[in-house]
Structure 1
Amino acid sequence: MSGKDVKTSAWSGSRRLLKLLRDQMKGKSTDQDRLRQTVELIARDMDAEVCSIYVMRPGDFLELAATEGLKPEAVYKTRLHKGEGIVGQVAALALPMAVSDAPRHPNFAYRPETGEEPYQSMLGVPILRSGRVLGVIAVQNVTHRHYHEEEVEALETIAMVLAELISGGALTVSAIETQGSLEEREKPDRLKGLCLNEGLGIGQAVFHNRGIVISRIIADDPEDEVRRLEVTVAEMRSSIDEMLTRTEIAALGEQREVLETYRMFAEDRGWVGKITEAIRVGGMTAEAAVQKIQNETRSRMGKISDPYLRERLADLDDLANRLLHHLLGLGDEKPELPDEFILLARTLGPAELLDYDWDRLKGVILEEGSPTAHVALVAQALELPILGRCRDVLSRIREGDTLVLDATNDQVFVRPKEDVLKTLRLNVKDKKVRWEEITAARDVASVSLDGHRISLNVNVGLLIDLPHMHAAGADGVGLYRTEVPFMVRQSFPGVADQADLYRKVIDRSEGKPVVFRTLDVGGDKVLPYWSTVAEENPAMGWRAIRIGLDRPALLRQQLRALIRACEGRDLNVMFPMIAETAEFLAAKALLDRELERETSIGGILPKKIRVGAMLEVPALVWQLPSLCREVDFLSVGSNDLLQFVFATDRGNTRLARRYDALNPGVLKLLRTIADSTAAAGVDLSLCGDMAAQPLEAMALIGCGFRSLSMPALQVSAVKKMVCSLDVAQVTDFMSGLLDEADHSLREKLEEYAKKSGVVI
């Protein structure tokens, strides 16, 4: 039987099973009976001795809700924490797992009450809805069975059906009372989050819900579905164009470029192509295919720890939801909203924010989100407070609750008492005054009280970030992350495409310097068109310059593009993840070869070339004398450097607050770097989270740093600190602290700032 025949046969079985499931759901049996019948049907259709459904419960644990093959008494008794066992791993990764010898798998977790000793193989797939794991379906066999790709796809399709039935209310599972009594739920509450845009907003809670429920999964005629997709995509693009032409959108000015980039996402052929393939190969309806690709994209990008890249996912979520809205014919009608409301959502795209009445909308609270989110940048233009990373916001707040969103102080007050509410209303600042303060800070030079000029630059990764550099009054781009354009494409960009992009970056910088970091992929930043091999510790694995030197053609193409983009203008190029001087010399040799090549073909070289390295690997500190003889500048990547210094995975939530960047050992290391580069006459800067916080930036200046690079939104706050600082005094103060045994110097630095009048 050919591979094509196998796939057709597998999908035929999937359609038959889905028809049986649909018929079953129309019956009058209880929800628990439906769950039990569902696992029986799946086990029988997939020739499995066991089929089980686990549901996600509050507190991040999975509970066995129905089973065929395991002991019935284990239902609603067997529990696994998220990440525990193979089932828990499926939920944690939001990805399917097929294991032919489950008992020998390192994640295997034995539960004696289930009676699963005889079963050797297991296939588990997540039940996903809008990126959220609702549960897991698992099948098991006595034999060491190797599950085929078609079987995985079939079970994923069934999981999609279950997710839609659960979300649409057609199927429920026994609830565990977690919300307490009505009296408890009426009490005032306070939630913490991360400020994405400052401000205070008061209003009633409204949940962002587009009402999307997919009832048809399998297509009667895939080609009809492809045609329906093409028509609907065209309609969606037209509606986005209409939105961009609205007078109030045009008035956004620089932030309008965020929406222009959103429009570019809508034109992405690779994205639409994947949906089309899911229809033709998988036999899905157009809306089911959109949902499938959305789930796959979220699962893949959700593993990326870089907040900047993760936030591009919110734009794709927005587009997928908008496309589903068009496919399902839901129209543009919106429910009646309160005169003043706060919007609650897991994530939100920039266009979705603009769908709401700006006069009534007083703020946004997200379960996810970061300052680099496009929705945060649009919110800034609208002077709208927005709070991100607010855990449990969707479960602890009810529709209609009175909320006071204090984004400036990273908090939201839920159901506050009247006296508290009255006090908070008095703290609302006049928007006009606030905007004038920001504009004034933009035009102020970053010069300390004793005359030291501190260069404040921005980290960017897309063209739409550049207007914010000018708005913030930054000196230039301290770090242009060239990997971002690579990651949003479906194929590797050629030299011409790269050169065109880099040329636009330079043009839009309007004469301000730009430091281009060469491709920093690998680790948690995976290109979608590259095959990857799992690594035990990807942060310390095959990534950044290591890939560039092992694949020199890749690096040479990028360097060639940079040379051509900078013809007649300055080129500042920086190599990441350098661990030894020899690596820098090898990378610089490739640049020299490309310069010779460009000269030989009569090309125009850059006016001036500066070559630097990123110091992220501690080993490089002891090679600074030799390195400083070769580099024109050095940039400390504080995020990776601290991770390696403390032997701490910065993505591990258990260790997130264990070590402090203001540890005396860290600061002494940074002082050593600053002293060595100053003695050698090498320019030094630092980019990373340390540079973005006024207190940490003050400590860095006290350690000898005179150039910092950060997100554009942080420039104003750091600039205010610099203008209130006496550099000579803080340098002397820091010198007396670096040999202390404290866990952190944070409190001592805060006390110094308070006594000295430094604005932090």
Structure 2
Amino acid sequence: MVAQMVQGKVSLAVAAGIDDPQNPLGTDAIQVYEAIASVYSEDGVLVLMDLGSALMSAEMALEFLLPEQQAKVHLCAAPLVEGAIAAAVAAASGSDMQRVIAEAQAALLPKAAQLGVAISHPSSIIGEEQVTHDMGAPEEASLSTGQITREIHLTVHNRLGLHARPAAKFVACATRFQSQIQVCNLTKGSGFVRADSINQVTMLGVRQGHEIAITATGADADEALAALKALVESHFGEDDSVLESHAIPPSPHLSTPGASAEGNPPAALLATHWLLSPSSLKGIPASPGVAIAPSFQFKKTTVVWHHAAPIRIQEYHVDNPEAEWQRLQAALRIARQEIQALLTHSSIQIGDAEAAIFDAHLLFLEDPMLLETVQERIFALHLNAEAAWGAVIEEVANNYHQLEDPYLQERVADVVDVGQRILRILSGTPITTVDLSQPAILVASDLTPSDTASLDPTKVLGICITAGSATAHSAILARSLGIPAVVGLPSEILQVADGTLLTVDGETGNVWIEPEPDTLAALEGKRHTQQTARQRALAAAHQPCLTRDRHQISVLANIGSIEDTQQALNMGAEGVGLLRTEFLYLHRTSAPSEEEQLTVYQAIAQILGTHPLIIRTLDAGGDKPLPYLGMQPETNPFLGWRGIRFCLDRPQILQTQLRAILKASARHQVKIMFPMIATVAEIQAAKAMLAEVQAELRQAGIPFDEKMEVGIMVEVPSAVAIAEQLAQEVDFFSLGTNDLSQYVMAADRTNPQVAPLADALHPAVLRMIQQTVQTAHAAGIWVGLCGEVAADPLSAPILLGLGLDEVSLSPLAIPVFKEAIAKLTMAQAQAIAATALQQDSAAKVREVVLNSLVL
């Protein structure tokens, strides 16, 4: 039929069945290869294929071709009959390969329409004439709709391509526009997919050096493509030096045949295990360090959907699909709250860069392709929510497994993590947490990113799992937490009884079960060497932070839980400069009571002893919405009803928190800090409410610190401009550079295409800091800083030179900051800061610091 239609204008070949009369079903890879070779040209070859043996044979056939030929062959899942006709007609008319692929994949739509089946079509823009322009070229109207389709081609340069976090930024950027946006991987010859689908974008397999095409159709198409172009060209805001830190350095102790130059086994060896001795196992080194402790088997309760599951999902018919859909929506809302709480916790404990893993988890819950498919299953098949969700998650997971790229295959762990979370909520299964009474080495078949981020490094001394790889998100998180880890271990490790002595060498990938005395002694020696070096650094961190000429700056910690407090002290914190109280309000359906808050504040103050504790009142809104408090979605939440604005409008919520803080201040060094102060009237209103609560406590005879210091967060430009008046109202300022930088630069730090502008080392932000410090000191009050910029060692001389009295940062970054300060004199720091203020970009500021430190 096709041959008759195209009259020899298109080369056609068939490779169906196998040459075996006794077993005629199947596909022969050699036949597929020969068919491709018979029609091959530089214009490319389109292979239409079914699933099963056809897919495997087609992929195998490509291996017989030269690399340059493989790039010209495109495997397509379009329907065989309709796809062949549509593709051949398009090819005969002179269309390029991408259009031919799009027409082939679109061929399923008429059949679906005839059957009354609704399907989404991510691969092409149907019914529109695509018009390709350079940016700024004259507009051309679509022949059928009058809308314009713009297209740009870009090369992706960041090291790991569109992996989870850059893909999340890409999707977040695309969804900000009204236009229909699609993207394809030109290098791999993929079809177009929806740019608002985190799964489809990730599964394009875009790696460093790949060329992508982005199309946009709609009124704001030019703006959308410009924003995406800026995002790609900024390398998605990634710092290659940060990415390099995720790699496992080569180890002189590891000699694995075929190991790569980076010290990691090649993909072909990732599933290979062998015994070193009767009591030792070999796995993949994932996080360096030596751990010696009893084993603890972590057996997580999971609700899954495949046959090997400990708990199987029940599939059943529902009479009211709308109610079932709403049940799923409720589960999605709870999951978003849980992930947001985990994101906040991870940001505090390990920093924003690694916590961004959970930004991708949040986008997964909003993936329109996934949700539309689940909705269709519920309404068309009358399936219960668990069955519909589970089936779709399994399909998505299988799609990741089938990707050629091993790195992208590992992202299936994130899919399963999010999928399990929803199933757990739907089934009412409680969260399984690692509850250790004593330090131990955690043994498990696998750990999700959520599991790993929740671990307490003081209790979990090591990790041994049978799944995973060194580049999985769980491994990255383990390294950030400083927990030695070996992954990809043989299943024998799961048979080890709790309490059995284990030793883990995360540098070599070796695990010993009840090691021999000489092995144990050698490992204890190695651990002692590592601990001595670590303790030396920590010992210095526990000393006052002094410059070479004995100038002191206080170094405190940002925390978000009771558990963070002891870790902060262990890392050398001189107190808590910022307790983010939002963690008390997240992951729940109502505000915490006064008693709940008091218990937490007292527990933290008790751990700190005589060290100061600065408690920031509720800073909801912006990137921390709390729907149960009546906070509705806003067009621009960072400029909306947030921080002190919200609390003053909801006095009962603020008064409850103030009572708890005041009660906790008795016999402790507690200070209170109000966020998002933009006007003098706001701080006066907040202080008036504080005075009312103080009067109530006095009348009731309840003790509190009558001399408790009161401060504000300086994070709005107006607060800098009126700092002189604000200083008359408070005892201290604390610069919140995360928000201050975004307001000064007019750049939403959660918006990927402009987030790089919100850099606290930009001279405009540094001048705001300088002005605030000078004004505060002139008024006789002290100034701290509690933004993430302090965790950047390059900021140390600038912050010191600008005259800050105190910095508060992530606990893990404290030793590095103190070490940086110890190498400076005050005169050096002031000179560096003065030069930095004269630069015209954050990049040049960093150059100034680097050059000054080298000299």
TM-score range, shorter chain: 0.5 to 0.7
Distance 1:458 1:42 in 2: 59
The answer on whether the counterparts of 1:218 and 1:283 sit within 8 Å (CA) in structure 2 is no
Select 2:421's aligned residue among 312, 320, 328: 320
Distance 2:831 2:205 in 1: 59
Q: Quick one: which amino acid aligns to residue 264 of structure 2?
A: G
Q: Which amino acid aligns with 1:437?
A: A
Asked if structure 2 preserves the Cα contact closer than 8 Å seen for 1:126 and 1:135, the reply is yes
Match of residue 646 from structure 1: 745
Does structure 2 retain, via aligned residues, the 8 Å contact 1:91–1:133?
Answer: no
CA deviation map 1:137-191 (0-9, x unaligned): xxxxxxxxxxxxxxxxxxxxxxxxxxxxxx9xxxxxxx9999999xxxxxxxx98
In the alignment, the residues of structure 2 paired with residue 504 and residue 622 of structure 1 have an alpha-carbon distance, to the nearest angstrom, of 38
After superposition, the Cα gap between the structure-2 partners of 1:668 and 1:106, relative to the gap in structure 1 and judged at 3 Å, is closer
Residue 468 of structure 1: how far off its partner (Å): 1.6
Q: Does 1:438 align with 2:534?
A: yes
CA distance in 1: counterparts of 2:807 and 2:207, whole angstroms: 47
Kindly state the Cα deviation for residue 704 of structure 1 after the two structures are TM-superposed.
0.4
SS at match of 1:364: coil
* Shift of residue 134, structure 1, vs aligned partner: 3.2
- Give the match for residue 545 of structure 1: 644
| Residue in 2 that maps onto 1:133 | 199
> Displacement of 1:461 after TM fit?
1.0
Structure with larger Rg: 2
2:681 pairs, out of 567, 572, 582, with 582
Distance 1:610 1:42, change over 3 A: farther
Give the partner amino acid of 1:611: V
Q: CA deviation at 1:691?
A: 0.9
The TM-score, its normalising length taken from structure 1, stands at: 0.56
Q: What is the 5 A alignment of 1:581-730? A: 581-606=680-705, 608-658=707-757, 660-730=759-829
- Any idea what the Cα deviations from partners look like across 1:266-310, whole Å, max 9, x if unmatched? xxxxx9xxxxxx999986264656789999xxxxxxxxxxxxxxx
- Alignment root-mean-square deviation, CA: 5.6
Counterpart of 2:592 (choices 487, 493, 497) is 493
Secondary structure of the corresponding residue to residue 837 of structure 2: coil
Distance of 2:620 and 2:554 partners within structure 1: 28
1:358 paired to 2:464: yes
CA distance in 2: counterparts of 1:677 and 1:754, whole angstroms: 33
Q: Given that residues 291 and 320 in structure 1 are in contact (C-alpha distance below 8 angstroms), is that contact kept between their aligned partners in structure 2? A: no
Cα separation, 1, equivalents of 2:588 and 2:475: 22
Contact 1:222 1:285 in 2 (8 A): no
Cα contact 2:714–2:740 (8 A) shared by 1:
yes
Percent same amino acid among aligned pairs? 26
Give, in angstroms, the shift of residue 586 of structure 1: 0.8
1:53 partnered with 2:53: no
User: Distance between the aligned counterparts of 1:455 and 1:651, measured in 2?
Assistant: 30
- Gap change, CA 1:582 and 1:195, over 3 Å in 2: farther
For the 8 Å contact 2:711–2:733, the answer to whether it is kept is: yes
Counterpart in the other structure of 2:846: 746
The answer for the alignment partner of 1:504 in structure 2 is: 603
Which AA in structure 2 matches 1:382? P
Contact residue 479 and residue 687 of structure 1 kept, 8 A = yes
Q: How far apart are the structure 1 equivalents of 2:621 and 2:388?
A: 31
CA deviations over 1:45-98 (Å, ceiling 9, x no partner): 9x89xx44234xxxxxx646999xxx9x99xxx99999xxxxx99994699x9x
Evaluate the alpha carbon distance shift between residue 661 and residue 623 of structure 1 in structure 2; reply closer, same or farther with a 3 A threshold. same
Mapping for residues 136-155 of structure 1, pairs under 5 Å: none
Give deviations 1:694-730, integer Å, cap 9, x for gaps. Answer: 1112101001013111111111110111111111332
Structure 1 pair 180/380, CA: closer, same or farther in 2 (3 Å)? closer
1:470 maps to which of 569, 572, 583: 569
- Contact 2:172–2:752 (8 Å) recurs in 1: no
Contact 1:344 1:364 (C-alpha < 8 Å) held by counterparts? no
Cα distance per residue 1:557-606 (max 9 Å; x no partner): 11112223333333311011101122111111111111111222222223
Contact kept, 8 Å, 1:524 with 1:539, in 2: the verdict is yes
1:457–1:475: 8 Å Cα contact kept in structure 2? yes
How many aligned positions are there? 515
Q: Which AA in structure 2 matches 1:637? A: G
Q: Distance in 2 between matches of 1:110 and 1:670?
A: 40
- 1:219 equivalent to 2:219? Answer no
Q: Structure 1 residues 361, 710: CA separation in 2 closer, same or farther (over 3 Å shift)?
A: farther
Secondary structure of 1:569's counterpart equals: coil
- Contact 2:463–2:484, Cα closer than 8 Å, also in 1: no
Q: How does 1:181-220 map to 2 (within 5 A)?
A: 193-194=242-243, 200=249, 202-204=263-265, 205=267, 206=270, 219-220=315-316
Q: What's the CA shift for 1:690?
A: 1.6
> Could you say if the C-alpha distance between residues 106 and 442 of structure 1 is closer, same or farther in structure 2, counting changes exceeding 3 Å?
closer
For residues 838 and 206 of structure 2, the distance between their equivalents in structure 1, rounded to whole angstroms, comes to 53
1:533 shift after superposition: 3.4
Q: Which amino acid aligns with 1:438?
A: R
Match of 2:188 in 1: none
- Summarize the alignment of residues 411-450 of structure 1 with structure 2, pairs less than 5 Å apart: 432-444=528-540, 445=543, 446-450=545-549
Secondary structure of the structure 2 residue equivalent to 1:647 = coil
Name the aligned partner's letter for residue 200 of structure 1.
P
Q: In structure 2, what is the Cα distance between the partners aligned to 1:92 and 1:651?
A: 12
Choose the corresponding residue for 2:635, options 528, 536, 545: 536
Q: Which amino acid aligns with 2:592?
A: P
| Shift of residue 451, structure 1, vs aligned partner | 0.9
Q: Could you give the per-residue CA deviations for residues 5-55 of structure 1, whole angstroms, max 9, x where no partner exists? A: xxxxxxxxxxxxxxxxxxx999x999644998986797689x89xx44234
Find the aligned partners of 2:206 and 2:681 in 1 and give their Cα distance. Answer: 61
SS across alignment from 1:133: helix
CA distance 1:589–1:649, shift in 2 (3 Å): same
For 2:280, the equivalent position in structure 1 comes to none
**8 Å CA contact 1:612, 1:634 repeated in 2:** yes
Q: Judge conservation of contact 1:616–1:638 (CA < 8 Å) in 2.
A: yes
Change (3 A) 1:327 1:740: closer
Mapped partners of 2:826, 2:718: distance in 1: 29
The alpha-carbon distance between structure 1 residues 730 and 597, as it changes in their structure 2 partners (threshold 3 A), is same
Is 433-442 or 555-564 further displaced after alignment? Answer: 433-442
Distance 1:684 1:193, change over 3 A: closer
* C-alpha distance in structure 2 between counterparts of 1:738 and 1:214, whole Å: 60
**Deviation per residue, 1:488-532 (Å, 9 max, x gap):** 223222222222222222223343211111111111211242444
The whole-number CA distance in structure 2 between the counterparts of 1:684 and 1:474 is 17
1:314 is displaced (CA, Å) by 10
* Cα-to-partner distance string for 1:424-450 (whole Å, 9 max, x where unaligned): xxxxx9665443222222222121111
